[in-house]
Amino acid sequence: MRLKRLEMLGFKSFAQKTVVEFTPGITSIVGPNGCGKSNIVDALRWAMGEQSARHLRGHQMEDVVFNGSDNLPATGMAEVSLTFDNEDGRGPVEYNTFSEIMVTRRLFRSGESEYAINKIPCRLKDVIELFLGTGVGSKAYSIVEQGRVDELVNAKPEERRSLIEEAAGTSKFKSRKLVAERKLERTQQNLLRVNDIVREIERQIRSMELQARKAERYRALKAELKEKDLACAALFQQQLNEDMARHQADLTGAENRLAEQMAALRSKEAESEAVRLSLMESDKAIAAQQESVYQQKVRIQADEQRIAFYRQDLSQLERNQADAGAALRLLEDRLKLLAQEITELSNSRESFVQLSLFEETRLREKESELDNLQAQIQSLQTDLERERESLIEAANQIAYLRNDLSAKEKRRAEIARELARCQTENAGAANALAQSEQKRIETRRALELTVERRRERSLEAAQAAASIQALCRSRDEQERKVESIKGQIQESRSRLHSLEDLHRNYEGYQEGVRAIMLKRQKEASPNGIYGLVAEVIEAPQPFEKALTAVLGDRLQY
């Protein structure tokens, strides 16, 4: 096969994808030191399966992954792909249908490796077998490094022979021959082990023949044990059913009692709710009565204040009436005096008509004074009339105030009676409230007692349910034990049948012994054949194994 193309990505100094085309003929790669020429050869060897980091000029395999530079970050994977031209079909037979064969290898920085042939994942072994006999490979002669020529010249005959075999294409078949020889060796070892196993099985068969009689006895004892166990299980099942029925009855009774307690509890709760509503109504009525009493007290205080004001006004009016009466009496007395004086002056006027001018002037003065007095009398009469009207009005007001005071006194008495009645009703309501509170306390105590009884009943029901569950679990356990015993009996029966078949057909015995014993079974009255030594000898159980080991194959005689 001819190398056609090399693709590198993240391998050593090739951080970015680099493709090298190899056209027919000679391809030379030149450049200054350190430019990466040797990295191309390392990429070829690495892609063809090289596993030694030292041969790739590194300390560990992860060194082939690009580690970063000043301009480029480090990569997490190295990948190299080799494309070979297979137009002439000189590649491996399984790839003759492909015109190109591409081998890819990837290495992640975590240490994981991947191989692929034509983009199909494969193993390292597949890659190595691909290049066997082609002259191409990580250790083939197709890659000649510096100093490799000296190694070839100074190589040992065995090393030269490997190169010649590689060039001749026989290394592939030699590798397959080594694999086949190793498989053949493992097969021979397996055959030896099979022979050992066969001999061990034959030895066990001989000892199992002795155990057949034990199995027969075991079967009889097992049948008897089964009958005993079944009888015991039946008795236990019957007792369990009786216990379950009794506990079920207890549970039913507990549930009925619980239902009764719940009904009583609901009745008590309804009574408690009714009492609570009654207490609320009583509280509202008491609050309304207290509010009414408070309003009555406020009205009484206001009426008492008005009565006090009326009494003060009445006292003032009485004092004013007394003052007006005294003034009226004074005015009446003065009016009488003035009338007398006028009469006297009139008499004097008639008597002294002939008085002198001086006396006439004096008379005019007296008349003027009389007019003034008459005006004063008129004014006093007007004032007196006004005072009379005031007195009448005051008397009317006094009468009104007295009537109002009497009405207020009656209202006060009514309010006092209403207050006494409210106090009586309040006392009755307080007594009713106390009785309701006492009844509520008693109801609460009864409710708490009912709840406690309900809790006890629930606990008893839970204990009964737990007991029933425990009994059910015990019953299930016994049923499982019975099923297990049935399975063991069936297994023992199957094993016994197998042993009987082995014993009846004399499997594991020597061919001669087996033929004689089978013939003895077919004949009605065999002559000269009594049985095998193993069938005749009977030994105590502690010595059976020792006797089997001593006699060995002689037990088949």
Q: pLDDT per residue over 312-356, tens digit each?
A: 766 776 777 677 667 667 767 766 776 676 677 666 555 545 554
pLDDT at 8: 93
Q: Which residues of 391-403 are buried (b: 16+ CB within 10 A; e: fewer)?
A: beebeebbeebee
Read off the tokens for 14.
Answer: 């090739």
* Secondary structure (DSSP) of 311-342: HHHHHHHHHHHHHHHHHHHHHHHHHHHHHHHH
Among 122, 118, 120, CA closest to 96: 118
Predicted pLDDT of residue 7: 94
Give the span between the Cα atoms of 94 and 122, in whole angstroms: 14
CA gap 549, 557 in Å, rounded: 15
Out of 168-172, 371-375, 437-441, 510-514, pick the least confident.
Answer: 168-172
How many other C-beta atoms are found inside a 10 Å radius of the C-beta of residue 374? 12
Phi/psi at 475 (5° precision):
-60, -45
Q: List the structure tokens of 236.
A: 């236990």
SS3 (DSSP) at 117: strand
Average pLDDT of the residues in 389-403: 72
Which pLDDT does position 107 carry in this prediction?
A: 92
pLDDT of residue 68: 86
d(CA 419, CA 299): 12
Q: What is the location of CATH 1.10.287 in the chain?
A: 288-441
380: closest CA among 494, 388, 132, 482? Answer: 388
**What's residue 114's pLDDT?**
93
DSSP bridge pairs for 7: 19, 81
Long-range CB pairs of 170-173 (<8 Å, 24+ gap) are 170/133, 171/132, 171/133, 172/129, 172/132, 172/133, 173/133
Q: Is the pLDDT of residue 494 over 90?
A: no
According to CATH, the topology of domain 288-441 is Helix Hairpins (1.10.287)
Residue 46 and residue 56 in contact, taking contact as beta carbons nearer than 8 Å: yes
Residue count of the chain, please give it.
Answer: 557
pLDDT 10s digits, 403-462? 777 777 787 777 777 777 767 776 776 676 677 677 778 777 876 777 787 777 778 767
How would you class 275 by CB atoms within 10 Å of its CB: exposed for 0-12, middle for 13-18, buried for 19 or more?
middle
**How much of the chain exceeds pLDDT 70, in percent?**
68
Cβ distance 380 to 335 under 8 Å? yes
Name the strand (E) or helix (H) holding 84. strand 77-85
Question: Looking at domain 2-169, does it have CATH number 3.40.50.300?
Answer: yes
Radius of gyration of the chain (CA): 71
The strand order across the sheet containing 113-117 reads 18-21, 2-9, 77-85, 100-108, 113-117, 120-122
392-397 mean pLDDT? 72
Q: Give me the helix-helix angle, 511-522 and 357-505, nearest 10°.
A: 90
Which pLDDT band, with edges at 50, 70 and 90, does 310 fall under? low
* pLDDT for 473: 80
Mean pLDDT is highest, among 15-24, 28-37, 280-289, 365-374, for 15-24
Please say whether the dihedral angle defined by the alpha carbons of residues 117, 123, 128 and 132, taken in this order, is positive or negative.
negative
Do 211 and 499 touch, CB atoms closer than 8 A?
Answer: yes
Q: Which residues contact 56 (CB under 8 A, 6 or more apart)?
A: 42, 45, 46, 50, 63, 64
Going by C-beta distance under 8 Å and a sequence separation of 6 or more, which residues neighbour residue 2?
22, 24, 84, 85
Q: What is the pLDDT of residues 530-545, one digit of tens each?
A: 666 666 677 676 776 7
The three-class DSSP label of residue 120 is: strand
| pLDDT at 524 (0 to 100) | 58
* Share of residues in the chain with pLDDT > 90 (%): 6
pLDDT beyond 70 at 507: no
**Tens digits of residue pLDDT in 74-111:** 888 999 999 988 888 777 778 888 889 999 999 998 88
Distance CA 171, CA 173 (A): 5
3-state secondary structure of 138: coil
Residue ranges of the chain assigned to CATH 3.40.50.300: 2-169
Average pLDDT of the residues of the chain: 75
Q: What is the pLDDT of residue 171?
A: 61
Q: What is the pLDDT of residue 380?
A: 67
